[in-house]
A = this chain, B = another copy of it.
Amino acid sequence: MHRVVSETRVLEANERLAARNRQLFGDSGVFVVNLMSAPGAGKTTLLERTIERLRDELRIGVIEGDLMTTIDADRIGALGVPVFQITTGSVCHLDAQMVGRALEQFHPGGLDLLVIENVGNLVCPAEFDLGEDVRVMVWSTLEGADKPRKYPVMFHEAAVVLLNKIDLLPYAGVSLDELRANVRAVNPAAELLPLSCRTGEGLEEWVAWLKAQVIRGRGDGLEAA
């Protein structure tokens, strides 16, 4: 954030717009995930694997946030789910206003689950409520065990931390227990799900967790797996 002096005012304005988005999501009966991570942690691949597993059971839509290019939106669109692209230009995160404008064109009515894939960045996205129901963070085993302490805000705000690329843990120079403990030190309440989008390990647990959240959010008769 370039002008620290104005930060409080910017975040207050964002809260108001996030509340408006949240109202719209609630009225639409859609469960909304704000998906965040560092660049390259595997958000888009996770989303592909998730959509493949859930698209026959849930009506899923995606909002893709990127500085530029529609690479991610094209990948998601290829799976046959509706996707809307927000191009941020030089802005390093999504905010509630960008999402609010997107919702004017990409109405979530009729969806069970809307995933908003944020810009790849461990810092600023965590400060901007988009009106989501839940924040999901992807952390990959090779990013360094110290990241929760160095970037605590995002880890602290996540309801679930997906520990991706566990197939590469032998090269990370650190144990799964240590990675878990480092998340817990910042966020004792976070759900911690190890997985590998490459091998598929752990994906069923994540998909079951997500589906349970959607069902709980709707409070209706959609059957659990």
A residues near B, CB below 8 A? Answer: 1-4, 6-7, 10, 38-40, 42, 66-69, 71-72, 89-92, 95, 119-124, 127, 140, 142-144, 146-147, 149-153, 165, 167-168, 171, 173, 198
Contact = CB atoms under 8 A, between A and B. Distances in A.
B150 A71 contact: yes
Contact of A123 (B121, B146, B167, B171): B121
Contact of A3 (B3, B67, B127, B171): B3
Of A1, A7, A66, A68, most B-chain CB atoms within 10 Å: A1
Contact of A6 (B2, B120, B143): B2
A203 to B, nearest CB: 17
A14 to B, nearest CB: 9
A10 B1 contact: no
A173 B40 CA distance: 13
A6 B7 contact: no
Copy number in the complex reads 2
Of A6, A10, A124, A171, most B-chain CB atoms within 10 Å: A124
Contact of A40 (B6, B67, B147): B147
Contacts of A151: 39, 67, 120
Given A1-B1, A2-B6, A68-B152, 19 more contacts: A1-B2, A1-B90, A1-B91, A1-B92, A2-B3, A2-B95, A2-B124, A38-B38, A40-B140, A40-B143, A40-B144, A42-B144, A71-B150, A90-B127, A92-B121, A92-B124, A121-B121, A167-B171, A168-B168
A150 to B, nearest CB: 5
A150 B2 CA distance: 21
Given A68-B152, A150-B66, A39 B122 contact: yes
